[in-house]
Structures are given as C-alpha cells and as structure tokens.
Structure 1
Amino acid sequence: MSDAAPTGFRARLHGRLPGPLRRADPAVVIAFGCILLLLLLGSLYSRNFLSFDYLMQQLKVASFLGVIATGTMLVILLGQIDLSVPWVVSTGAMMASAAAAYGLLGEILSVPFGVLCGILIGLVNGFGVAYLRIPSMIVTLATNAVAQGLMVVYTGGFSPQDSASPAMRWLATGFLIPGLPNAVLVWIVVGAAAVFVLTRTTFGRAVYGIGNRERAVYLSGVDTRRIVLVAFAVAGACNAFAGVLLAGYASKAAQSMGDAYLLPAIAAVVLGGTHVLGGRGSYLGTVAGVILITLLQSILSVMQIDEAGRQLIYGTVIVVMLLLYGRQPA
C-alpha cells in the first residue's frame, strides 16, 4: 500500500527518480541503492566480498533475520510493536531442542512444537493488545520477561544441554536444491506467503486498514480485535521458527540466541519503508532492509566493531529513517 501523494522528503526524492522508478517506493529504492553501495565498499576492502559463495553465505545469514522481520513487519503495519522477539526466538529454539530429546516422536515434533510455543506467546501478546487494550510495548516487554524467566527456570540457569534434531539441522544447513541453502529457501517460502496474505486476502487489507485507521475498519464490519490477535500469533510463530532455524544452524539452542535480533529486525522493516505508525509498507522493502542490515553487520564485523557500536548504529539508523519517513503528512 503506497501513498497517493508523497510529501516532504519523499516528494522531492520522488520527483528526481527516473520514470520507471517513480512508481516504486523511494524508501525501497534507497535501500537497494545502499545495498549496491555496501557491495561496492566491501569489494574494495576484500576481493572475495562479491564471490558467489560469500554472497550466498550472507543470504543464508539474512534468512534468519528475514523470517523474524516478516513477523515484525506484520505487527508494525498494525501500528504496534513487538518487544518480545529475543526470548520468543530463544524459547522456540530451546523448546524444539528439548522435544528432540524424546526419541523419534520428539524429533518429528520438534519443529512444530517450537513454533507452537511461539504461537502461544504471540496469542498472549495479541490478547493483551486487542482485548485488554494494553499498549503493545508494555505487554510484549512483559511476555519477553516471563518467557525469559520460564526458560531460566527450565534450564536451572545453565546453558541448555539438548541438541537440535536432524530435521532442524537439515532445515538450517541442508540443500534441497543444489547451491541454494534450505534456510534461504525457507525465507523465500515465508516471504511468498507473506506477500500473498498482505496483497491478496481480506486479512492483509484489514491489517493495512487497521494501521491507517482502526475505527474506520471496525465500523465497516471487520472484527479488528481478531485481526490483531492473529497478527501477533503469526509474529510469534515467525520468531519461534527463526529460533528453530538458529538452533539447527548452531546444532543447539542458547539462552541469549535471540538477543541480537530485536533492533536489527525493527531497523530492517523501517529501512524498507514500512511506516512505524502502521498502514504503509511493502514486503519487498523489508527484504531490502534485511539484506542491507546483514551486509552492514558483515562489514562491521570485518571492521571489528563491537556489539555496543553495532547497536548504536542500528539505533541511529532507526532514528534517521523515522525523521525521513516516520512523520505523518500534514
């Protein structure tokens, strides 16, 4: 869903674009332009930066963030925020690994069980926001703390000892199609489903509508509370599924597995042009934002920037994009 008449910075940029690009969201164009710039800078630093193997590895790393960003985008389109990402990711990873320890049946059910745990947390978030009218920032922060406490109690404060199931490892590191990692294929499937839902279903139109003006959607006969509940449940599923993939990638879960994904997920969605107040954004922009953040992480890692510096950069990116795209048109 795009603006009928871009204003301010968007209008000036829109007028300077070539004809074929004027129909595209300027934020998406900027994000892809920044990707090309980072690739150029990386190639100047290392000749291997543009090699097929390196780029495919970066796509593989981006796929974990991409699955999380899918759920994050859905929530932001509603005009809400989900701060429970870190421990929903960790819960999905730890519960899937725990299930894998119970024989063959446990291995078979490990992936769906991990995702189910994320759905349950998402339902709690959605119920608090939609039916109890608690601000999403508060309820998701609370559920994040509760999930953390439950996982610490489960492990006794020690690192989880359970290993990922073969299915989890195959999803994260295997190759169903030669040359294309399964993790990337999973992201493609999740992304295609997200595009279909957002552009071809009444649910997707309701999500955009609620982000623009919830009262108008409610008066049109849509059960907005149910839409919000389902959206948070889907976000929880995406976060937990990403945790399952991460556990498969590392062969085991870790308590802090999701800590590094909250700000990058929000930054990726905002960088892609999704309005932080809801109602506007495209999944193509989110894809661009995820790839941009992943390449930025890679360059910062090569430059040996510590985690505090990375978080500072992510926060600055969000603030800058808010200044450029986050203000409502007059």
Structure 2
Amino acid sequence: MSEISDNPTAQRARLPAFLRKVDPAVATAFGCIILLLIVGSIYSSNFLSPDYLVQQLKVASFLGITAAGMMLVILLGHIDLSVPWVMTMGAMMACAMAGYGTTGHVLAIPFGVFCGALFGLINGFGVAYLRIPSMIITLATNVVAQGLMVLYTGGFSPQDSAPPAVRWLATGFIIPGVPNAILVWAAVSALMVFLFARTAFGRSVYGIGNSERAAYLSGVNTRWIVMTAFVISGALSAFSGVLVAGYASKAAQSMGDAYLLPSIAAVVLGGTSILGGKGSYLGTIAGVILITLLQSILSVMQMPEAGRQIIYGVVIVAMLLLYGRSPATR
C-alpha cells in the first residue's frame, strides 16, 4: 500500500484537477521567476517598479521571438546554431534596404525576414533531404552568413540606420505604457500557440520529435515539416534581429551572438526536451522571462560576460539532467 502511495503518478492523481494539468517544468520556471524578483528587489529598490518590469518585458520580447523559432526546431529533436548571424544578417539587410527610398522603407522588414527564411530553407533542406546533422549544417550556414556580412560591410559596423518604421515597431507605443515590442511578441506567441494546438503542422512537429519513423509511417510528410520548421526559425531569428536594430537604431557586427545560448536556455528551462517531442510554449515564455531577469540581476551584480556564459551553460546542463534523460524512440 505504501508503494502505491509513494508512486509519483498516484500522488499527482490526488491533486486537484487544475493542478494535475500544470507541467512541473513550467511551474518550476515560474517559481524561479518569483524567486528572482525577490532577489532582485534586495539588490535594487527599483527592481519591482512597474516601469522597470515593463522595460524588462520589452528586452525579453527580442529573445522571446528568437526562442519561439528555436523551440520549434528543438521539438523536432534538432538544433539551430545559425541564429547569431541570421539575426545580424536580417538586421543589416533591412537597414540596407531602407537606403533605397520610399520603396526600400516599405520592403525593409519583409526583406530582412526573407533573408532569414532563405537561410532557414538551406538549413531545412540540408537536414530533411540531405540528412546532414542539424548541428553541422546550421553551424556552417552561420559561418556563411558571417562571411557574407563581413564582405558586405568590409568588417566594419554598417553605416545604414534603421528606418523609422523599424524603430517605431521596436520602441514606439500603440497602447500608452505598453511598448510595441511587447505587443509584437504577444502576437508571435499567439500564432505559435495556435500553430501547436490547432494545426496538423503542430501535431506533426510533436509526432516527429517523439519518433520520426512512426510519424512517417502514419502518413506525415516528415521532410516537408522539418524543412518548414527551419524556415520559420530562420524567419523569426531575422525578424528578431530587425527589431533589435530598431531598438538600437542601427545594426552592428555580431549583434546576434548574445542570443544563441539564452534562446536555447530559455527553451530548455521551460521544460522542452532537447531530445524533441515534449514541451509547451507557455514554458518557453516562462524561460524567456526567467533568462531576462537573470541577465538583469547579473548586470546589477556587475557579472562579466564570461561569467554569464558559464551560468547559461550550467543551467542548460542542469535542465538536461532533469528533463532530457527520457529514452528516445527514433
């Protein structure tokens, strides 16, 4: 009798219905957010002020859009290491397009996103059809994107400024007190939730992540799904880069480097299995907010960048040990 009562499944069954639906990883992430808010308030009295928290959500929105694409790829059991320079390329190309008059201003954002989607298409084709490991192909395209941008700029920061529309999208206000960047992240989040919960594409992503062979045998066009996921990841990375350029008023070399590890950490912290097939977008949102608050506290503590990268690595390894050790069935 005691063995039954000690069983985690039996213990979970005794919980209220609304608690049984809560993912433990998501609950843990939100619990850590509350803990970080308490710790931050100890270091700074302004940490819990509404203006500061809104500013943190604004900063989190850029990471959140990048993490949305990263989660899609990780759910498939793959990884996208081309994020840094796809972000940079999207930002630089959007700013460059703005130099072509009124038409360039109109096409700036679509062109930047298109460049990211194009590299995502190369990644997806390599993984889905050429069967190249995602870690290899995305690392290679990241280097190619870096080379193209260095060739374009001559190795210096580009002189093109972000067009007004991009700056407004990143820093302006439609609703007083709520930055547009937060609204853009909310719109992307709503689309991702709809994609995962209400479409055959979303269900196929989970199915491939659990077992690509079983998904294929059940009639899913696995190659097309994988390729499309990488296209979306590339497009979202480039879009995030465009917004960061709007936030900073211009693009810069290596501006995407600071987003690779945090985007992976945010997805993993939210409970998405690095092996694929398991995870919720709500968890990714919690992971993004958690990483942003952690960055803020480390900044207040004047932690050097090297220390922050060490902490991200430790966090990813710890979460892998907690959530990523379930057996994979491929």
- TM-score bucket (shorter structure): over 0.9
Q: 1:11–1:262: structure 2 CA closer, same or farther, 3 Å change rule?
A: farther
Give the distance between the partners of 2:138 and 2:234, measured in 1 at CA. 11
String of CA shifts for 1:38-85, please: whole Å, max 9, x gaps.
001111221111110000000000000000000000000000000000
String of CA shifts for 1:139-172, please: whole Å, max 9, x gaps.
0000000000000000011111100000100010
Give the distance between the partners of 1:307 and 1:21, measured in 2 at CA. 38
Amino acid at match of 1:75: V
Match of 1:23 in 2: 21
Give the distance between the partners of 1:151 and 1:18, measured in 2 at CA. 55
Q: Find out whether 1:36 has 2:34 as its counterpart.
A: yes
Are 2:62 and 2:244, in contact at CA under 8 Å, matched by a contact in 1? yes
Are 2:64 and 2:288, in contact at CA under 8 Å, matched by a contact in 1? yes
String of CA shifts for 1:251-271, please: whole Å, max 9, x gaps.
000011100000000000000
Q: Find out whether 1:54 has 2:52 as its counterpart.
A: yes
Are 2:89 and 2:112, in contact at CA under 8 Å, matched by a contact in 1? yes
String of CA shifts for 1:180-210, please: whole Å, max 9, x gaps.
1000000000000000011100000000000
Give 1:126's match in structure 2, choosing from 124, 127, 148: 124
How large is the RMSD of aligned CA atoms in angstroms? Answer: 1.8
Match of 1:3 in 2: none
Match of 2:142 in 1: 144
Counting only pairs closer than 5 Å after superposition, residues 35-114 of structure 1 correspond to structure 2 as 35-114=33-112
Q: 1:162–1:9: structure 2 CA closer, same or farther, 3 Å change rule?
A: farther
Match of 2:3 in 1: none
Shift in Å, 1:9: 11
Amino acid at match of 2:173: F
Match of 2:198 in 1: 200
Give 2:188's match in structure 1, choosing from 171, 184, 190: 190
Are 1:9 and 1:324, in contact at CA under 8 Å, matched by a contact in 2? no
String of CA shifts for 1:208-265, please: whole Å, max 9, x gaps.
0000001111111111000001000000000000000000000000011100000000
Aligned residue for 1:211, secondary structure, equals: helix
Match of 1:181 in 2: 179
Are 2:43 and 2:300, in contact at CA under 8 Å, matched by a contact in 1? no
Aligned residue for 1:162, secondary structure, equals: coil
Give the distance between the partners of 1:12 and 1:159, measured in 2 at CA. 59
Aligned residue for 2:174, secondary structure, equals: coil
Give the distance between the partners of 2:314 and 2:94, measured in 1 at CA. 35
Q: 1:82–1:149: structure 2 CA closer, same or farther, 3 Å change rule?
A: same
Give the distance between the partners of 2:10 and 2:247, measured in 1 at CA. 44
Give the distance between the partners of 2:271 and 2:261, measured in 1 at CA. 16
Give the distance between the partners of 2:13 and 2:310, measured in 1 at CA. 32
Give the distance between the partners of 1:141 and 1:257, measured in 2 at CA. 17
Amino acid at match of 1:58: Q
What is the TM-score of this pair, normalised by structure 2? 0.95
Shift in Å, 1:130: 0.1
Aligned residue for 1:176, secondary structure, equals: strand
Gaps of 5+ in 2: 1-5
Match of 1:162 in 2: 160
Counting only pairs closer than 5 Å after superposition, residues 132-281 of structure 1 correspond to structure 2 as 132-281=130-279
Gaps of 5+ in 1: 1-7
Q: 1:121–1:280: structure 2 CA closer, same or farther, 3 Å change rule?
A: same
Give the distance between the partners of 1:13 and 1:322, measured in 2 at CA. 24
Give the distance between the partners of 2:74 and 2:11, measured in 1 at CA. 24
Give the distance between the partners of 1:10 and 1:67, measured in 2 at CA. 35
